[in-house]
Structure 1
Amino acid sequence: IADGKPTETQAQSLSPKAQELIEESRHRASKSEEESDGGSDETEEENEKPVGVIPRPVTPVVVVTRKFRRRRRIFQAANRAKRLDRSRHMEYKYEVRGLMDEIGILDEHRSNILGSIWAKGERQTVSDAKEYLEGKLSEGIITEDQQSRLLAVIDDYTIRR
């Protein structure tokens, strides 16, 4: 096949129709090579133009300019306030559980006090958590000694953020 002609075994394996198609494609290929070597004056672009097309004037491109709105900052930083340190949440839970055991807060109130102090001190402010403890003192759930010990822990975990 190197010289472009099929060998006898290939010719026998192909049907006459297939051989005819192969010969036609070889003929067209050699014809197109001769035309490209001949150097016709027409360029490929001229050959591609359809005949009978009416040229239309090109409409100018209109660029639409929009007025840009001022960009507003979506994120508004919260006011800096004294809150509990989020990164020390696990330490806080461990320490306060031990403290509540030590100072004798009733089991039924421990979980509620532990979680509420953290939630108010972390999400709102430390002063809200301290007010919560004052409310528990006035309800009679904790004593003044217990309140002062819990307030000391709150102060240890307070940061400005």
Structure 2
Amino acid sequence: MKKGIVINFFAKCSVLIFMFVALAGIRSQAQEAPQVGTASYYANKFNGRKTANGEIFNNNDFTAAHNKLPLGTYVKVTNLRNHKWVIVRITDRLHYANKRVVDLTQAAAKRLGFYYRGLTKVKVEVVNREYASSIITAQELSYN
């Protein structure tokens, strides 16, 4: 009798653990779902100012501002008008009233081909650090 109760208890615990792990996986996938919206870029007046993560802003770097993703997150930003893309690191926050998805450096805006337009429709996708680091190094070498 006691053996059956113990087995039943462990079976129920296993199901609960499985459900918890499955829900945690769904939650993390939902947080990393691509976002589509408008992108803009920083004005020159922000050069030399501190960003939200404490770094000094430089319009020649490949960084961006985003309101929800954690600082330090790497994202792939794709211009939906011409399908050009760039990898940037989130280092700053947008103004709370800003309706844009992301604010990019001028270097990133030029790479995406919308520098002279000012705004464009983009898709923002989270990428892993290892992939992003290798791409950013190549981007910076080809930009400078």
TM-score (norm 1): 0.24
Query: Higher relative contact order at CA 8 Å, sep ≥6: structure 1 or structure 2?
Result: 2
Larger radius of gyration: 1
Structure with the higher helix share, 1 or 2: 1
